[in-house]
Amino acid sequence: MRVLLLNPPGRELYVRDYFCSKTTKSNYHFHPVDLLALSGTLSLDHHVTVLDCIAEGLGPERARARIDVEGPDVVLSLVGSVSWEEDREFLRQQAGLGRRVFAIGDVLHENAEQRLAEEPWLEAILDDFTTADALHLLSGEEDEVLRATWRRADGSFVHRNEPRRGREHRLPRPRHELFPSRGYRFSFARRTPFATVLTDYGCPWPCTFCVISTLGHSTRPVEDVLEEVDGLCRRGTRELFVADQTFGVQRDRALELCAAFRERDLSWTAFTRPDLADDELLGAMRAAGCHTLIMGVESADDAVLDSCRKGYATDAARSAFERAHSHGLRTVGTFVVGLPDETEGSLERTLDFALELELDFMSINVAVPRFGTPFRRDVIAAGLVKHDELVMDQSGATVALPTKALTRAEVARFKRRMVRRFYLRPRWLWRRMRDVSGPREFIAQAREGFALLSRNA
C-alpha cells in the first residue's frame, strides 16, 4: 500500500508529537518522533512517504494538492488538542476521497472509543508508536495488535491496551531521509543539520501532570540506536536532539550510549532529571558532546513539587544546575505555571528561583489537563475544567485552567511577565552574546528570541 505519514497543516506553528501538542513557544519545530518511529516500521511492508505541512509551511490547499500527487491509500496523521478542529476537518476531507485515515495524538489518548464514535471518518487510533500495530491493522492481523482502537467493517469498535511487557523494544531504523531536509528548527542546536533521535519510550516516574508518565517505560537496544546514529553520520548529520524524556534512567545503558557517542564526534542536547544528574552522568554526557541539558524545575515550592509527585525537592534542582554548569553544560530549566494551588506569591517565588539558578534558558509550560493523566482527573473533579473541553495549549497562547486564586487571564499575564523578566536582563543578554559559536548560531538565537518575546509582549 501507499502510506502517507502526515503532520497536517495548521493556522499556527503547531508542535504535535509524543501525545503532547502546543503552539511553538518561540519558533522551534523539530521532527515528530511518532512519525519517525512509524516511518521505519511501515517501510517494512509498504511504500511510505512523509508530508510535514508545518515544517514545509503548507496551508490546507497546497497540502491537499501534494497529497493528491502522492495518491496514498492510507493517511496516518498526527493530531493535537491544540489544533483539533482544524485537524478533524482536514482529515475528514481526506477520508471523503476514499483514503483510510489512522491518527495518533494527545486528544485521542483517552476515551478512544468515544472519539471513534464521534468521528466516523477515522478508522483507527494508535496509542503507541513503537509497536507494529499499524502494520497489523493494515494486514488484517487484528489479534497481533497491542495498543490501539479501531473500527471494524461491521461498524463495531475494538479497543486493545495490552500492558507493556519487558523493558526493551525494537524499532526498524527510522527513515530520516523521508523527512524534509529544511523547515525543522531547534534553538539549542549548535551545528546544522540536526536530527531528532529517541532512544527510549515513556518515563518511569509518576509526575501527575505529565502524559509521558502514563506510557510506561522501555528502551531500545544500544546497537539499534547506533545503527540509526551511524546512518545519520553518513548523511552528514552530527547534531542530535536526543528526545528521551529522561536521559539516564538506566545508568549503565546511558554511560554505554555516551561512550559510543563520544567515538562519533557528535554534539547533542538532552533532557534529564535533577536527581539523576550526578557528576558521573554529567561528566560522561559532556565528554560525549552533550552541550545543552534540559531539566525540570517546575516550581520554587516544595509542596507543589510534592503534590505533583515529582520525587525531588528544590534543593535537588539547585545543586543539579550548579553541577551542570561546573561540567560546562548550557542549562535549560523547565517550569510549569498555573497549577491549582498557585498564587501570585508562589509565581513570584518561582520567578526568583529561575533567576537564582543562573539558567542559560528558561522554558515555561502552562499547566494543561493532559488526557490520561491523574492531574486531569483531579482538576475535572475540582470543577476547574470540563471533561469535554478538548482544546488546550501548554505554550500558554491560551490558558486552559484557572488556579484556585488566579483567573486564566492572570496566569497568562504572569507567564508573559516571567518570560520578559528572564530574557530582557542585560547581564543575561551579554552572556548569550559571548556564548554563541558564530554568526549562524547568533542569527538562529536572535530569531528565536524575537519570536519568543513577540509571543510574550
Q: In 424-456, which ranges are continuous DSSP H helix? A: 426-435, 439-455
- When the beta carbons of 150 and 271 are compared against ligand SF4, the nearer one is 271
Give the integer Cα–Cα distance in Å for 204 and 311: 12
DSSP conformation class of 396: S
Q: Report d(CA 353, CA 19) in Å as an integer.
A: 29
**Residue 51 interacting with ligand SF4 (CB under 6 A):** no
What is the helix (H) or strand (E) element at residue 77, kind and residue range?
A: strand 74-78
Single out the residue of 161, 45, 69, 86 nearest to residue 77, CA to CA: 86
Would you count residue 214 as binding ligand SF4 (CB under 6 A)?
no
Least distance from ligand SF4 to the Cβ atom of residue 207, Å: 3
The piece of 12-20, 165-173, 202-210, 317-325 that touches ligand SF4 (CB under 6 A) is 202-210
Residues numbered 242-281 forming contacts with ligand SF4, rule: CB under 6 A: 245-246, 273
Cα dihedral across residues 60, 61, 62, 65: positive or negative: positive
- x/- letters, 289..308, toward ligand SF4 (CB under 6 A): -------x------------
Judged by CB under 6 A, the residue of 13, 107, 210, 232 near ligand SF4 is 210
Residue from 205, 241, 321, 353 binding ligand SF4 (CB under 6 A): 205
Question: CA–CA separation, 102 vs 78, rounded Å?
Answer: 9
| Long-range Cβ contacts of 382-391 (<8 Å, 24+ apart) | 382/340, 384/340, 390/81, 390/84, 390/107, 391/81, 391/82, 391/84, 391/85
DSSP secondary structure code for residue 409 in this structure = H
Q: Using CB under 6 A, which of 42, 212, 258, 399 touches ligand SF4?
A: 212
Distance of CA 278 to the CA centre of its chain: 25
The size of the interface with ligand SF4 (CB under 6 A), counted in residues, is 10
Nearest distance from C-beta of residue 136 to ligand SF4, angstroms = 28
- Decide: is 419 part of the binding site for ligand SF4 (CB under 6 A): no
When asked if residue 282 is in the footprint of ligand SF4 (CB under 6 A), the reply is no
Binding status of residue 219 toward ligand SF4 by CB under 6 A: no
Find the shortest distance in angstroms from Cβ 215 to ligand SF4: 9
Among candidate residues 89, 123, 128, 133, the one with its CA nearest the CA of residue 105? 128
Select from 210-218, 274-282, 416-424, 427-435 the region that touches ligand SF4 (CB under 6 A): 210-218
Nearest residue (CB) to ligand SF4, 310 versus 415: 310
Q: How far is the CB of 27 from ligand SF4 (least distance, A)?
A: 24
Which residues sit at the interface with ligand SF4, rule CB under 6 A? 203, 205, 207, 210, 212-213, 245-246, 273, 296
